[in-house]
Copies of this chain bind each other. A is one copy, B any other.
Amino acid sequence: MPTTDPIAFTRQLRELRQTRRFTGQSVPEDVLADILDVARWTGSAKNTQPWHFIVVTDTSAIQILSEAGQFAGFLAGAPLVIVVAMAGKSPRSEPYDEGRLSERIMLAADAHGLGAGTGWFAPGAAGEERVKHALGIPDEMRVLQAVAIGYPDDADQRARTVIGGRKQIDEVVSRGRFGTGSR
């Protein structure tokens, strides 16, 4: 049963944003343990838990990750990166389960006052395969993205308050039938 105030809890969900600039401060071990435990408890299709998390803090390894895709560059500035390796057995449900997982990692980091951002690897030799090779991840697994975690840089915090709006409720919700509006 939930123990937090529902309004405070859902406000925190609403206000989650990607963090892409971090201070140099490292992530405390007890906070990392709590985040990984939240990740571990993520639900998945038929409870297969088709994932493995590789926690990377070595600067040269993080540098390699940051060069593995156009949308991975910001990883270079993070003190810690969780690379998510998926089993590669269920193309229909695994990306969906990976989204659930990553959202929870970001929410758990945010709850502890840290920021998190997802870096996407390019497909093929220049991206995914390079990451797998660097971290010893088996060929049959699938590596789509990684979640960087750290303390948000102040400038990034300010940027987060002004960018990234959303469509209005009427644009994304229908009642009973597609296109009927939200009321």
Q: Which residues of A contact B (CB under 8 A)?
A: 1-18, 34-43, 45, 47, 49, 51-58, 61, 85, 92-93, 95-104, 107-108, 110-113, 120, 123, 135-138, 144-145, 164, 166-167, 169, 172-179, 182
Residues of B within 8 A of A12 (CB): 2-4, 9
Question: Which residues does chain B contribute within 8 Å of A167, judged by CB atoms?
Answer: 40, 49
A99 touching B103, Cβ below 8 Å: yes
Contact of A111 among B4, B49, B182 (CB under 8 A): B4
Copies in the complex: 2
A4-B13 contact, Cβ under 8 Å, with A51-B172, A100-B102, A178-B138: no
Q: With A40-B166, A100-B103 as known contacts, state yes or no: A9 contacts B6, CB within 8 Å.
A: no
A95 touches which of B35, B56, B95 (Cβ 8 Å):
B95
